[in-house]
Structure 1
Amino acid sequence: MSWTKPPKEEIDEFEKLGNPGWNWQNYERYVAKTEGFIAPSEEVRKRNDYVNMSIEQIGRDGPLKLAYPGRIDELDSTMLQTLLNAGLSKAANPTKGVSFIPNTYDPIKHVRSYATTAFYLPNKDRPNLKVLINAAVQRINTQPAPNGKLDAAGVEFEYDGKVHTVNAQKDVCLAAGALKSPHILELSGVGRKDVLGKIGVPLKLELPGLGENIQDHMHVGVSWELKQDVGFETIDLLRDATHNAKHLDLHALGEGLYTRGIIGFAFTSLHQLSPLADTIYERTKAKILANKDKFPPGLLEQYNIQLDRIKRGAPGCEIICYPGFLSGPAPPAEGKSYITFFAAMNHCFSRGTIHSTSSDPHKEPEFDPHYFEQEVDLDIFTESIKWIRKLADVSPLKDIIVNELNPGPQVKDDAQIGDWIKKCMGSTYHAASSCAMLPKEHNGVVDPELRVYGTNNIRVVDLSVVPLLFAAHPMASVYSIAEQGADIIKGKFNPLEASVASLKLSA
């Protein structure tokens, strides 16, 4: 539910990687079409000094409701003040610094706002819209076109125990996400020759980059036990059935813990967290230069941008404030309350893969994120954790905690921290780039019009087209991609013209 947008430079890098029209100017224009921000009252803003993240930049007229949760607790402010006292700065804009972040939240009904409430329900009675739930796509049926490319003739799907085919007169658009869009394309005969050969699917169109270049965000939590007399209500109360029932009843009144959200964030650079930043940068740069001839096409260009991100202080490190327990390996104790700071990794160098292991559409593909294949990712993660653990000595956090539960005092040196990270980290479920929008010679899968290379009418419109993952939770960007993709499909957007306009504006 966190509504965060990437730094301007990191969206402009889409265009630098060979995608005219995919730049910050167009991103802002399209994401604003979705945003329906409901600004907090002046009273709330005065009471919560961290609601300062240039909220004037958020669109007000879109169908997706955005707001601060009904309850901003003193504990949320305590966590942010600790980050500021530790040396970070308030966010002058939403992409770098410490601030409260809006949620996709309806402040009147106190429920989540999402694609169903914003887009489907207002349009569900339109005669040209048909939605089937639990209808699993199996493959796209294609045929050779006179121009030598592939045409999508229809889509085969399973519904209510039967296989059906819907015929396509215009475009077929995949929006199944980074985990499933490449799977559907492979089952349709599109992708790597070696992958399709192993599963017995006839190759109709070779695209070596399909299912490659996977990037993800990772996180791991550091938890402290709270003193019993500090008076803060945390999410830990909900583990108790009696308290949970009480807060469910309160939610119906627009009160209680179920009106809270995850709103405290810091986006920051490695240099702000670690004295080893320059050492890590130089070591990573040397390794990349030494191995540049071994990389698949297009990866060196991405790595050069990622090196520049470290050097310029891009906010690749994220800290998330969580008012409760969420960490490992030690479990929470009954009746205790906790506080957790997450370290999240946004600019990972490791690249994963997603590939089919069977021609049976019911069998999921193999997801291999290749976490920590590039040692720089573990280096940065370790430095982030070391910085977060030092917060225990910073007020006001140090005044309200008893002890560190996870990773725990037995985890001391860098090697032990690294082992703990590997054991307890998790995906933030932001997987991207499996159908990357890149030049075909750079292992691209779709062009700047989101059309699959070698096809006339198959497009991909989801997070899988992102060529290089950015420092933000991706929901806002998914909506922006969808809006820009809709205009492209309708013929209302010319990438080359939009790129020229952006260059003129910058000049």
Structure 2
Amino acid sequence: MASKQYDFVIVGGGSAGSALANRLSADPGNRVLVLEAGRSDFPWDVFIHMPAALTFPIGSRFYDWKYESEPEPHMRGRRIYHARGKVLGGSSSINGMIFQRGNPLDYERWGADPGMETWDYAHCLPYFNRMENCLASDPEDEFRGRSGPLVLERGPATSPLFPAFLRAVQQAGYPLTDDVNGYRQEGFAAFDRNVHRGRRLSAARAYLHPVMNRPNLQVRTRALVTRVLFEGKRAVGVEYRVGRGAPQQVRAGEVILSGGAINSPQLLQLSGVGNADELRALGIDSVHHLPGVGENLQDHLEVYVQHSCTQPVSMQPYLKWRYRPWIGFQWLFQRKGPGATNHFEAGGFARSNEDVDYPNLMFHFLPIAVRYDGSSPSGGHGYQVHIGPMYSDARGTVKIKSKDPRVHPALRFNYLSTEQDRREWVEAIRVSREILRQSAMDEFNGGEISPGPQVETDEQILDWVAKEGETALHPSCTCKMGTDEMSVVDPADMRVHGTQGLRVVDASVMPYVTNGNIYAPVMMVAEKAADLILGNEPLPPSKARYYRHRDAEQGHVPGAVPESGNA
């Protein structure tokens, strides 16, 4: 059948895809098509737009790809459930709405790899600033943006449990900070959130919906891309299906994969780009042998350290059905009340030992004892911290199992598989307990519910983590940028090595996972990639000085960025 020609076809209308669609279609001469396999984020869909309803889409086939890992050998053979957004806005439409850039030294680590010099912190900070409108920041703050599409509101943290927690961290010897996304990440503070005026502000709402009326931009939902079309090693378009309909094809000058760290390597492999021997074993002709596709999988594992609360100040009553009509009324008509917040309003970053250069632990404090998906509430009033090591050296894979694009690929994360990972997990639990047992929490502390006092030795802690650990939903790095033989994407232009007309822009291109939630880094990557794709002059590198505790210990000027941009 005849197919329409576009300048850019973006596969995936999630976080990165929404940003790219906005930036690439800003030039009316660019014809842009977005193909999203999931449904639309309808304005009446309360499960997406009410922040506190975030537990409902997770696990629902209407919103969630519902991935599971292969049996994890160091996690008692458990299959770890992995939610990924199957809706316009992608995972930004179902996530916890926590906005964390990561530490500046994360990007110094990126920039230290060969060919990655322009992905250091000095070159990334201007793109963070361009994309955000941080309402809590000073207009003169060189670390924060004030005019971008991503409006950020800081958690009010008004429950009495939040100030008690922040006092407790100080009693345990950890500092507060003004802004975990600013000059100093290390410390504890109220968190920035993708919540604006009581509603979730997904990437689709921030970037895509405001420009949907552009005549040169088309967005098609429920369109599952089944393969990239090649002529030789040049990508010339894609094939896709809508529902159970016949295959359709569109041609494009450029194909950009933005399906995320699972979908993008899956589609590359289905299209013949990956490890040639593995693809031939599945009956797929190799277009280009690229062994790094689907390798280097990284993620954050987390657990909940939970305490019962002796006072009726937690959010537990609002889980009861009898309160839901009132919560819904307040949210629908006033955009306030328990439904208007994600409840992840404060937390912080700490180092678990003196050998690490920057925080390797992330804490989210929640004024209720409950799982992320809303299951297994403690029954009474409670509170918890979400905790886990942030730069594990465990590495996994994403590998297709079938030529059928509807068959989920095999995910192997290899959680708890390294000595460093296991050591830092023990440290993480001990630091969490140290904080929650401080006197500042005494008026609320009804005792530890989980893991419980019976879990004390290193071996018991690791066994408990293996039994109870869950993904923090930060899969990344499976099509990493770089120039070595296991790299997939060229950091200079986001092209897939060895091909033409094919690029990847999403969490999969990160070479190393950052030390926090990954939504903000993904959006920064998309903003920077848009300039690379369009050939725009890149934003000039920042000369902002950021905090490094090694400098502070030695009395040096913290985080001075030299003229080259490399620290």
Q: TM-score, normalised by structure 1?
A: 0.82
In structure 1, what residue type is equivalent to 2:490?
A: D
Deviations 1:457-489 (A, max 9, x none): 110000100001121211111111001110001
Task: Select the residue among 101, 111, 133 that pairs with 2:221.
Answer: 133
> 1:112-151 to 2 correspondence within 5 Å?
112-144=200-232, 150-151=233-234
- Match of 1:270, SS state, is coil
Deviations 1:227-261 (A, max 9, x none): 1xx341x2322321012222222223233222333
Which residue of the partner structure matches residue 296 of structure 1?
none
Q: CA deviation at 1:345?
A: 1.8
Distance 1:210 1:383 in 2: 33
Deviations 1:81-110 (A, max 9, x none): 211111100125522111111111113xx1
> 1:81-480 to 2 correspondence within 5 Å?
81-91=167-177, 93-94=179-180, 95-107=185-197, 110-144=198-232, 150-160=233-243, 161-168=245-252, 170-227=253-310, 230-232=311-313, 234-251=314-331, 252-260=333-341, 261-271=343-353, 310=356, 312=357, 314-326=358-370, 331-334=376-379, 336-441=380-485, 443-448=486-491, 449-480=493-524
- Match of 1:485, SS state, is helix
Q: Report if the CA contact (8 A) 2:222-2:242 is conserved.
A: yes
Cα distance change of structure 1 residues 37 and 93 upon mapping to structure 2, 3 Å threshold: closer
In structure 1, what residue type is equivalent to 2:106?
A: E
Deviations 1:363-384 (A, max 9, x none): 1111111111212112101111
Cα distance change of structure 1 residues 439 and 120 upon mapping to structure 2, 3 Å threshold: same
Which residue of the partner structure matches residue 90 of structure 2?
none
Q: CA deviation at 1:21?
A: 1.3
Which residue of the partner structure matches residue 307 of structure 1?
none
Distance 1:347 1:406 in 2: 24
Q: Report if the CA contact (8 A) 2:395-2:414 is conserved.
A: yes
Deviations 1:190-226 (A, max 9, x none): 0012320221101110011110011101110011111
- Match of 1:399, SS state, is coil
Cα distance change of structure 1 residues 22 and 216 upon mapping to structure 2, 3 Å threshold: same
In structure 2, what residue type is equivalent to 1:357?
A: K
Distance 1:319 1:250 in 2: 30
Deviates more, 1:208-217 or 1:403-412: 403-412
The number of residues matched between the two structures is 442
In structure 1, what residue type is equivalent to 2:323?
A: H
Structure 1 vs Structure 2 CA RMSD: 2.4
Q: Report if the CA contact (8 A) 2:261-2:476 is conserved.
A: yes
Distance 1:186 1:37 in 2: 39
Distance 1:333 1:211 in 2: 38
Q: Report if the CA contact (8 A) 1:356-1:364 is conserved.
A: yes
Distance 2:141 2:199 in 1: 21
Distance 1:154 1:484 in 2: 24
Distance 2:436 2:538 in 1: 53
Cα distance change of structure 1 residues 81 and 268 upon mapping to structure 2, 3 Å threshold: same
Distance 1:342 1:438 in 2: 32
Q: Report if the CA contact (8 A) 1:320-1:344 is conserved.
A: no
Which residue of the partner structure matches residue 145 of structure 2?
59
Distance 1:473 1:371 in 2: 18
- Match of 2:266, SS state, is helix
Q: CA deviation at 1:79?
A: 1.5
Distance 1:362 1:141 in 2: 18
In structure 1, what residue type is equivalent to 2:177?
A: A
In structure 1, what residue type is equivalent to 2:194?
A: T
Cα distance change of structure 1 residues 32 and 384 upon mapping to structure 2, 3 Å threshold: same
In structure 2, what residue type is equivalent to 1:256?
A: G
Distance 2:563 2:251 in 1: 41
Distance 2:562 2:194 in 1: 29
Deviations 1:407-442 (A, max 9, x none): 11221211111100011111111111000002132x
Q: Report if the CA contact (8 A) 1:23-1:499 is conserved.
A: no
In structure 1, what residue type is equivalent to 2:336?
A: E
Q: Report if the CA contact (8 A) 2:165-2:436 is conserved.
A: no
Distance 1:56 1:246 in 2: 42
Distance 2:152 2:142 in 1: 13
In structure 2, what residue type is equivalent to 1:83?
A: V
Task: Select the residue among 117, 121, 126 that pairs with 1:29.
Answer: 126
Distance 1:461 1:483 in 2: 10
Distance 2:117 2:435 in 1: 44
Distance 1:356 1:363 in 2: 8
Cα distance change of structure 1 residues 392 and 30 upon mapping to structure 2, 3 Å threshold: closer
Distance 2:136 2:541 in 1: 31
Distance 2:432 2:378 in 1: 22
> What are structure 1's unaligned runs of at least 5 residues?
41-51, 145-149, 272-276, 279-309
Cα distance change of structure 1 residues 506 and 426 upon mapping to structure 2, 3 Å threshold: closer
Task: Select the residue among 74, 79, 83 that pairs with 2:160.
Answer: 74
Cα distance change of structure 1 residues 70 and 410 upon mapping to structure 2, 3 Å threshold: closer
- Match of 2:307, SS state, is strand
- Match of 1:171, SS state, is strand
Distance 2:445 2:542 in 1: 52
Which residue of the partner structure matches residue 28 of structure 2?
none
Q: CA deviation at 1:395?
A: 1.9
Distance 2:517 2:378 in 1: 31
Distance 1:480 1:177 in 2: 14
> Matched residues, percent identical?
28
- Match of 1:32, SS state, is helix
Distance 1:12 1:185 in 2: 29
Q: CA deviation at 1:55?
A: 6.8
Q: TM-score, normalised by structure 2?
A: 0.74
Cα distance change of structure 1 residues 199 and 493 upon mapping to structure 2, 3 Å threshold: farther
Q: Report if the CA contact (8 A) 1:391-1:398 is conserved.
A: no
Distance 2:340 2:127 in 1: 29
Deviates more, 1:405-414 or 1:356-365: 405-414
Which residue of the partner structure matches residue 43 of structure 2?
none
- Match of 1:125, SS state, is coil
Distance 1:505 1:137 in 2: 39
- Match of 1:67, SS state, is strand
Q: Report if the CA contact (8 A) 1:195-1:356 is conserved.
A: no
Distance 1:210 1:256 in 2: 45
In structure 1, what residue type is equivalent to 2:99?
A: W
